[in-house]
Amino acid sequence: MDADAAISAAGPWTHRDVAANGARFHVADLGEGPPVLLLHGFPTFWWTWRQQLVGLADAGYRAIAMDLRGYGASDHPPEGYDPRTLSADVAGVVRCLGLSDAVIVGHGWGGLVAWATAVLRPEVVRGLVPVSMPHPRQLRRSVLRDSRQRSALGYAVGFQLPFLPERSLTANDGQRIVDLMSSWSVDRSWLTDDVGAAFRAAFCRWPTAHTAVEYHRWGARSSIRPDGLTFMSLMEAPVQRPVLQVHGRDDPMMLPTSVDGSDSYVRAPYERVDLATGHFPHEEAPEEFTAALTDWLARLP
């Protein structure tokens, strides 16, 4: 599949480019009503939310799926893959779309960015839905204390090497991308050949492999650097927005026990929904995921 065709996939949505925080970001926009901004994780792109775009729009919301910095049709600058910059990206996109705020839904790395945005840029966050991602401080605690969680994240250890991770991820037209997504899923029926081909094509468009790995490099190296320590210190501030935490009960990559305790960082209504999925609840059980999300959205103040 052609990378441009995958990234600009046709559908009921409208593709837009948004200038924010010194970069250009691609979004897919559908529906009218209260805005919901959807942030993907590794190794996907905006299209991972294709079913939620339709479901949210049908439920009366404006659904906006964004390509994060370094992914899809958004800019791929050489730097800025830290949560403070990424949260500024999100805030800038919200404002440049003419919105005062939005509910932020984030999966994986997008979930970590969502947590950071709720603390660092709370003025643009109406509510927060982290998917398959504990609070950053809770994740750090789990990595330090739980050998099972360290082992589950072992794939990222090799990402600290130069050049080799990018080559590995793009070899054989990105076969490792599909292998990782399959190994992190419980019900793999969603990952059809056509779906896998779209994710492989988008990821293999250079320099996405490099910029996607930069997220992981920052995550590991920042643990002993001033910027990482400062970020973790800032994240001590409690989240003051309603939170819906969604997680897969059998997630083999981000263990459900690692999420336990995330509510201690929230000083607002907090709910948690565990679905019978792996790491991709919105892909493995899209109807259940969308139903849980829209039910929670309907009850927001």
pLDDT, residue 61, reads 98
* Residue 284, CB-side half-sphere exposure with 13 Å CA sphere: 24
Quote the pLDDT of residue 224.
Answer: 83
pLDDT for the residue numbered 173? 96
Spatial CB neighbours of 70, under 8 Å, sequence gap ≥ 6: 76, 77, 81, 207, 208, 211, 212, 214, 215
Cβ partners under 8 Å of residue 272, min gap 6: 244, 245, 246, 247, 259, 263
d(CA 179, CA 229): 33
Question: What pLDDT, on a 0 to 100 scale, did the predictor assign at position 223?
Answer: 81
**Residue 160 pLDDT grade (very low, low, confident, very high; cuts 50, 70, 90):** very high
For residues 98 and 111, what is the distance between their CA atoms, to the nearest angstrom? 23
Arithmetic mean of pLDDT, 92-119: 98
3-state secondary structure of 61: coil
Encode pLDDT of 123-132 as tens digits.
Answer: 999 999 999 9
pLDDT tens per residue, range 13-30:
999 999 999 999 999 999
**Any idea of the CA torsion for 99, 100, 103, 104, to the nearest 10 degrees?**
80
How far is 133 from 114, CA to CA, in rounded Å?
A: 10
Give the chain's mean pLDDT: 97
In this prediction, residue 222 has a pLDDT band, given cuts at 50, 70 and 90, of: confident
Q: Report which residue type is found at 135.
A: H
Please check the confidence at residue 107 and state whether its pLDDT lies above 90. Answer: yes
Structure tokens at 67: 């390509």
Strands 62-66 and 23-30: antiparallel
pLDDT in tens, 167-202: 999 999 999 999 999 999 999 999 999 999 999 999
Tell me the per-residue pLDDT of 229-284, one tens digit each, with 9 for 90 and over.
999 999 999 999 999 999 999 999 999 999 999 999 999 999 999 999 999 999 99
pLDDT over threshold 90, residue 290: yes
Residues 6+ apart with CB under 8 A from 103: 34, 35, 36, 37, 125, 126, 127, 128, 129, 297, 300
Full set of structural domains in the chain with CATH: 3-298 (3.40.50.1820)
Label residue 164 left, alpha or beta by phi (over 0 means left) and psi (-120 to 50 means alpha).
alpha
Longest dimension (CA), the chain: 49
- Name the band, by pLDDT with cuts 50, 70 and 90, for residue 144: very high
Task: pLDDT band for 1, please (50, 70, 90 cuts).
Answer: confident
As a whole number of angstroms, the distance between CA 260 and CA 283 comes to 23
CA–CA separation, 115 vs 120, rounded Å? 9
Helix (H), strand (E) at residue 36: strand 35-39
- Distance from C-alpha of 52 to C-alpha of 48, rounded to nearest angstrom: 9
- Nearest C-alpha neighbor of 295 from the set 38, 48, 32, 59: 59
